[in-house]
Amino acid sequence: MVTRIKPLYIPENKEEVKEIYYPTWLYLFDYVVERRIFGDIIGKITIVVDGISGRSYLADSFPELEEIKTEEKVLDPSISEEKALEIARDKVETFLFRKFAYLKFSYSLSRKHLAYKLFWAKKKGKSYYLMDSITGDEIEVQKIERSE
């Protein structure tokens, strides 16, 4: 069983594509910014950590997840859970410090999950493409030439 981020875009002809599942660490943090005059600011922030490169991103909201059974290609994460959490905490602190520079804030982890983002792989002519199941964007796969 694999937990995946529920796709928003599905290709027109599913028979012509293959599925590739890309690992992402998802974190939801609750935060409180203390203000004396107008009251505290309470909010949530979602951080996505790429399970292979370790890059982190702010997300609009925690995505909807679903459990599926698949025989397709599932990539293994190369970033450990501990390292991904450290990256996510750094991102939260940077965001809160920049947005609320002169105010005292605190945050806590409320939800975390290793989930897989679905990419659809297809061939058009002599080129290969990956379609992002969340944004619908198509990316042409570039051939890597190795020199030995």
Q: List, run by run, the mean pLDDT of 10-residue segments along the chain (148 residues).
A: 90 81 96 92 96 95 93 91 97 94 93 94 84 87 68
Note the pLDDT of residue 54: 95
CA 9 → CA 13, 25, 27, 44, distances in Å? 12, 21, 23, 26
What distance in Å separates the CA atoms of residue 22 and residue 141, rounded to the nearest whole number? 15
Note the pLDDT of residue 106: 94
Please state the domain extents for the chain: 2-9+21-136
What distance in Å separates the CA atoms of residue 12 and residue 49, rounded to the nearest whole number? 29
CA 4 → CA 15, 20, 115, 144, distances in Å? 20, 11, 5, 28
Note the pLDDT of residue 56: 97
Note the pLDDT of residue 65: 95
Note the pLDDT of residue 72: 84
